[in-house]
Amino acid sequence: MFFYKIKDKVAFSFNRYDEFNEISESEAIEALNEKDLIYFLTALDPKSSRRSFAISDHSLLFLTKEDLSLLASPEDKNYEIRDWILSKINFRKIMAINTSYHNWKSVLEHDPPVKWKINLAGLGDVGGTLLTGLRLLGGSCISEIGIYSRSIESVTRWELEANQILDPFCGEDYPIIRGISEEELFNCHMFVFCASKNVPKVGENVGDVRLYQLDSNSKIIKQYALMARENNFNGIFAVVSDPVDLLCKVALIESNKSPQGIMDYKGLAPEQIRGYGLGVMTARAAYYASKNPKTVSFINEGRAFGPHGQGLVIANSIENYDDELSDYLTEKTLKANLEVRKAGYKPFIAPALSSGTLSIINTIKGNWHYSATFIGGVYMGAKNRLTPSGTELERLNLPQSLYKKLEATFERLAKTI
């Protein structure tokens, strides 16, 4: 094991890096206090691996390939790890950095803000509802929300209305809402993409409502992904528009293309992009589960995986997994939006708040939540949290039949884009 001092940060690796100042293990320990992060340098294929992530268990130090197994409990192998490094892992104080990325050193300079500045693009039904939720609930972790739309009237309306949502006697802060220009969009800690086109009208039969918007929304998100690249954006690129998971992949690919169309990996890192669509699927599953005595335990025992649409996997329980009950909940969840449409309305309130507002706030606070993150080349929804050392995925002892469903979903997403 080798130890290094890089930009006043302590790093270690199983690989030798001759260009850095090598130090002894005792010097590394002496340079750290309990709160300091230490960085683990590794080299993985950027096509299917993140630039950085949290080392949440010691098996991740020996990771050679990122794939679906990141969601499963690690194999019990007898790894020889120093006690002080194990302690750092237990307190989530080790960040892995993939040195295969040309700009990996920029990760060393990242300093999480106390309060976040968020910029939101798109003030339609979803964007407006999400903004309302952030204004009401985000005061403890969000300082300001910039809003952008190509409709100046819409920006004016929401700046006036949202800033007038106020409880004068609660003693709590509210994020300031401010209209911004296109040039300001990536001057923030999190960019939220809510822009959308070709949302099916109520009563319009288009098959999978979410996939219906893929072509049109891909063209829109491409523009913002290129802007993120041009601005060297180092914050979170949050995708809320449908189809969430596939648009994340589009944003990743487009931001990492050179002007000649060659992948150069100089744009957004995979872990910078997060998709927010699984929160509402979990909420819908919980709603239907509460109506059946056989599935009522879902809210405490169950999990949701996969995309915001076809390929979704709802597990009634992890410890007491049942294929039939899980398939029932999955089917009810997938059709929940159609029930709202049958009533004559577009289903945007629950998605904007459950997938959007609540999940975004939990991301900022470092709490467990559902979102799609980069796993082995695809954006796969699962329970995770954003820690100071990077994204931590929940790893579970998954039943074999459930894991096979996840494999099918993983392959489906990989083949689509």
Closest by CA position to 384, among listed 266, 260, 236: 236
Closest by CA position to 24, among listed 55, 58, 40, 1: 1
Q: What is the CA radius of gyration of the chain?
A: 22
What's 43-73 look like in SS3?
A: CCCCCCCCCEEECCCHHHHHCCCCCHHHHEC
Hey, what amino acid is at 73? S
Given this model, what pLDDT does residue 76 score? Answer: 83
Closest by CA position to 192, among listed 262, 140, 234, 145: 145
Given this model, what pLDDT does residue 200 score? Answer: 67
Q: Which pLDDT tens digits describe the chain residue by residue (417 residues)? A: 999 999 899 999 999 999 999 999 999 999 999 889 999 999 999 999 999 999 999 999 999 999 999 999 998 888 899 999 999 999 999 999 999 999 999 999 989 999 999 999 999 999 999 999 999 999 999 999 999 999 999 999 999 999 999 999 999 999 999 999 999 999 999 999 999 986 667 666 666 666 778 999 999 999 999 999 999 999 999 999 999 999 999 999 999 999 999 999 999 999 999 999 999 999 999 999 999 999 999 999 999 999 999 999 999 999 999 999 999 999 999 999 999 999 999 999 999 999 999 999 999 999 999 999 999 999 999 999 999 999 999 999 999 999 999 999 999 999 998
Q: Where are the domains of the chain?
A: 2-109, 116-260, 278-416
Q: What are 128's two structure tokens?
A: 């407006």
Given this model, what pLDDT does residue 412 score? Answer: 96
Beta bridge partners of 95: 39, 54
Given this model, what pLDDT does residue 209 score? Answer: 62
pTM for the structure as a whole: 0.96
Tokens 């219906």 belong to 212
Hey, what amino acid is at 281? M
Beta bridge partners of 263: 257
Q: What angle do CA 104, 108, 109 make, to 5 degrees?
A: 115
CATH architecture of the domain 116-260 equals: 3-Layer(aba) Sandwich (3.40)
Under DSSP, the state recorded for 396 is B
State how far Cα 97 lies from the chain centre: 18
CATH of domain 278-416: 3.90.110.10
β-strand pairing of 390-393 with 378-387? antiparallel
Given this model, what pLDDT does residue 34 score? Answer: 86
Under DSSP, the state recorded for 200 is P
Closest by CA position to 309, among listed 281, 287, 288: 281
Hey, what amino acid is at 304? A
Domains 116-260 and 278-416 fall in the same CATH topology: no
In whole angstroms, what is the distance from residue 356 CA to residue 280 CA? Answer: 9
Collapsing DSSP to helix, strand or coil, 375 comes out as strand
In whole angstroms, what is the distance from residue 208 CA to residue 205 CA? Answer: 9
Closest by CA position to 285, among listed 338, 329, 253: 329
Counting other chains too, the contacts that 363-369 makes at CB distance below 8 Å and 24 or more residues apart are: 363/190, 363/236, 363/238, 363/274, 364/116, 364/138, 364/141, 364/142, 364/190, 365/141, 368/394, 369/279
Collapsing DSSP to helix, strand or coil, 400 comes out as helix
